[in-house]
A and B are shown apart, each in its own frame.
Chain A
Amino acid sequence: MTPGTEPVVRVPIQSANDLVDARQKGRALAGELGFSTAQATLIAAVISELARNIVEYAGRGEIVLRPDGAAGMIVSARDAGPGITDLQAALRSGYSTSGGLGLGLPGVRRIADSFEIESGPGGTVVTLAMKK
């Protein structure tokens, strides 16, 4: 695939009901890119966690999916919410400010091949790579 022709899938996240759509689009793209069904399911679960964070903490945002050359897939979650006050805590297992178990982000970070998070008053962007 040559740069510039790679398909980019954008899924707007406006409510928890959009999570199913985001998961399904992620699974479909993973399949097209040659991931195994187990890896595609893992990617769908990762997207679900990231999209739920958007809904819970920012209200709305988007999930952006794109191929990572031939190696895998890049998943980004972006929102214009209030940002994460304590990034270190948010990445620690068991931490949650929303009454959840706080397993979402730490689990996602652990299995991603690369993981970046930028968060500030203007919003939060999480970008991670999943390799085949």
Chain B
Amino acid sequence: MIVPILKQGEYLIASIQSALTDADLVALRDALVAKVGAMRIRGVIVDVTSLDVLDSFASRTLRDLANMIGLRGARTVIVGIQPEVAFAMVQLGLTLEDIPTALDLEEGLLFLASRR
């Protein structure tokens, strides 16, 4: 399942549409890191509203994605973590460490705009 990546101004928005395999997540990470340079992007939003779970692999891949994009000079915000997904993550002791999160796409865009 390829995750569509939309460009809106100087931001990229990746909207995960369904459950993803590990390989899909890694492909998303690599595509976003590449596009940040190719399109001169300042901020990336990853919308995980439709993700079925955020297990240890997905959490780590999102952290890696944000750290790699940070090294490229852009910011990442993860939006749309559902209440039950947040519950499962906390129960399992998984975190996104210091990666910014926001409620939804709209809040994510506001977050990036406020940190220009």
Contact = CB atoms under 8 A, between A and B. Distances in A.
Interface of A: 16-17, 19-20, 23-24, 27, 36-38, 40-42, 44-46, 48-49, 52, 93, 100-101, 103-104, 106-108, 110-111
Interface string B45-67: 00000001111110010000000
Interface residues of B, number: 23
Give the 5 A-B residue pairs with the shortest CB-CB distance, closest first: A107-B92, A41-B84, A38-B84, A42-B88, A48-B55
Contacts of B94: 103, 107
Contacts of B55: 45, 48-49, 52, 104
**Best-buried of B21, B57, B85, B93 by chain A (most CB within 10 Å):** B57
B77 to A, nearest CB: 22
Interface in B12-40: 19-23
A8 B20 CA distance: 25
8 contacts: A20-B21, A38-B88, A41-B52, A41-B87, A52-B55, A103-B94, A107-B91, A110-B93
B16 to A, nearest CB: 13
Nearest to A102: B56
A51 to B, nearest CB: 10
B56 A101 contact: yes
A41 B60 contact: no
